[in-house]
């Protein structure tokens, strides 16, 4: 599904959404709201327009089910909220306040998704295909000490599988010594990991992946084209 402009991975290279698009879409998300960012980035990828969507609307208004303001949220519940709410409004209409507040339900959506899709679990080929076109919301064990105190390089060895933290898979690659890795973007600022990023070993024997990252993966979508190409956003006129 890659275009001719997408460079084939070689030694010491990577395929990743970084630079302006990633940094603009994945601002410091202290609440781990990758669901808003996933929708925002799809709009940018699809239209070329960067529309800054309101993460505060998710914090204040998505409080049903197991989602409770700043206390965290399930990926499914967050995507369902975006769909049922008719999308998210813009950041300027509903600015971030860094705290939970009363929901302002009178806003108009600027962008939405039609649905969302599970990326097949335990299938790195499927994850590679989706990551080649957009970010993927991933659940992993964020409480494991290996993850908590990650400082850099490719994470190898043992890690827990208690899925309690949302993170974004944004790319993959190889190091100069041929170690394959997944490139992930965390929500803890640039002082964590490798300037806010994490590399975990790819293609490991454990079927659910390092820290469980192969097990629960979601990506928003608008429709699937007849060719099988993923098309995952819908703009509100």
What is the tens place of the pLDDT at every residue in 151-203? 999 999 889 888 888 888 888 999 999 999 999 988 777 899 999 899 999 99
What residue ranges do the domains of the chain occupy? 14-235
Q: Report the sign of the C-alpha dihedral through residues 116, 117, 118, 119, in that order.
A: negative
Rg over CA atoms, the chain = 17
Mean pLDDT computed over 16-41: 48
- HSE on the CB side for 206, CA within 13 Å? 17
More confident residue, 224 or 154: 154
Rounded to a whole number, what is the distance in angstroms from the first to the last CA of the chain? 29
Which tokens sit at 157? 């060895």
The pLDDT score that the predictor gives to residue 22 is 43
pLDDT in tens, 89-116: 888 999 988 788 889 877 788 877 777 7
Give the global pTM.
Answer: 0.67
Query: What's the CATH architecture for 14-235?
Result: Alpha-Beta Complex (3.90)
Task: Provide the pLDDT confidence category of residue 14 given band limits of 50, 70 and 90.
Answer: low
């Amino acid at each position: 599904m890659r275009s001719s402009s997408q460079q084939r991975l070689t030694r010491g290279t990577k395929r990743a959404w970084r630079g302006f698009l990633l940094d603009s879409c994945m601002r410091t998300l202290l609440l781990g709201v990758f669901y808003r960012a996933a929708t925002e980035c799809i709009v940018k990828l699809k239209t070329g327009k960067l529309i800054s969507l309101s993460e505060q609307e998710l914090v204040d208004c998505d409080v049903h089910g197991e989602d409770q303001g700043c206390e965290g949220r399930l990926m499914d519940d967050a995507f369902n909220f975006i769909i049922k709410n008719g999308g998210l409004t813009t950041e300027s209409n509903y600015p971030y306040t860094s705290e939970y507040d009363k929901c302002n339900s009178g806003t108009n959506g600027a962008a939405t998704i039609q649905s969302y899709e599970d990326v097949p679990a335990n299938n790195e080929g499927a994850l590679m295909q989706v990551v080649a076109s957009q970010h993927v919301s991933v659940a992993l064990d964020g409480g494991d000490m290996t993850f908590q105190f990650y400082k850099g390089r490719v994470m190898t060895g043992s890690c827990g599988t208690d899925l309690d933290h949302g993170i974004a898979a944004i790319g993959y690659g190889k190091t100069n010594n041929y170690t394959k890795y997944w490139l992930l973007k965390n929500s803890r600022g640039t002082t964590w990991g490798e300037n806010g990023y994490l590399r975990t070993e790819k293609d490991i024997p454990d079927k659910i992946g390092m820290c469980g990252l192969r097990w629960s993966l979601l990506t928003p979508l608008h429709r699937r084209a007849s060719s099988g190409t993923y098309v995952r956003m819908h703009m509100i006129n």
